Amino acid sequence: MEIFTSWPSWKQAEGPLGKALPPTTVELLREAVAFAGRCHGVQQRPTGRPYVEHLLEALEVAVVGAGVADRDVLVATVLHDVLEDTLCTEAEVARRFGPRVAALVRWVTKPPGTMKADYLASLVKAPSQAVLVKLADRVSNVQELQRMPWRFQRRYYLETVAYIMPLAGAHPWFARWYAEWREHWRRVERWPG
């Protein structure tokens, strides 16, 4: 199972992105990472690491793993949490990065007051490009699940198997990655709830 943690900062991401993508896409991604960094501020991942690392991991998954080159999908991957976790608005994303990016970010944002299971189940209706964003996001979240408390590991594993893996079926690289991941983590199914 491949792990995507090579880009903890923009400095590490920029070179590989420059080899894989057109300069205009790399420049827009630089802007998106800076924008997301300002929006998320001092927010940290549950592991205590800077939040921007998660955004760059998801971007690395999309580019290096899945071979995604669609500029708007990649920008949405970087911005996928700004509506849910910061004060940023969809209108602000649309103004800065265009309506397509804003729509993709909206698709992967859990609406306030919605149960997480209902939100995840609704992703079956999402456009394929939004699904790519969610799949990359979740790879970043589950690739090092061992860093989290065991109860979180079990809940997140079961949630990923139930809601995310079915979405991966239409995307061969993601389908393979999640199948390997599930095999690696299958022991979690036997843990007591």
Neighbours of 161 (CB within 10 A): 17
- Whether 84 is catalytic is yes
**102: which 2 tokens?**
């804003």
State the Cα torsion 167-172-174-180 to the nearest 10°: 110
Question: Distance between CA atoms of 34 and 39, rounded to whole angstroms?
Answer: 9
Q: At what angle do helices 172-185 and 128-142 cross, to 10 degrees?
A: 30
Q: Determine which one of 14, 31, 70, 85 is catalytic.
A: 85
Q: Determine which one of 84, 90, 92, 159 is catalytic.
A: 84
Instruction: Tell me the three state secondary structure of residue 157.
Output: helix
Question: Distance between CA atoms of 116 and 110, rounded to whole angstroms?
Answer: 7
- Whether 85 is catalytic is yes
Residue type at position 176: R
16 contact partners, CB below 8 Å, separation of at least 6: 6, 7, 60, 63, 64
Q: Among all chains, which residue has been given the structure tokens 């608005």?
A: 89
Question: In this structure, are residues 63 and 17 in contact, taking their beta carbons and an 8 Å threshold?
Answer: yes
First-last CA distance in the chain: 26
- Known catalytic residues are 84-85
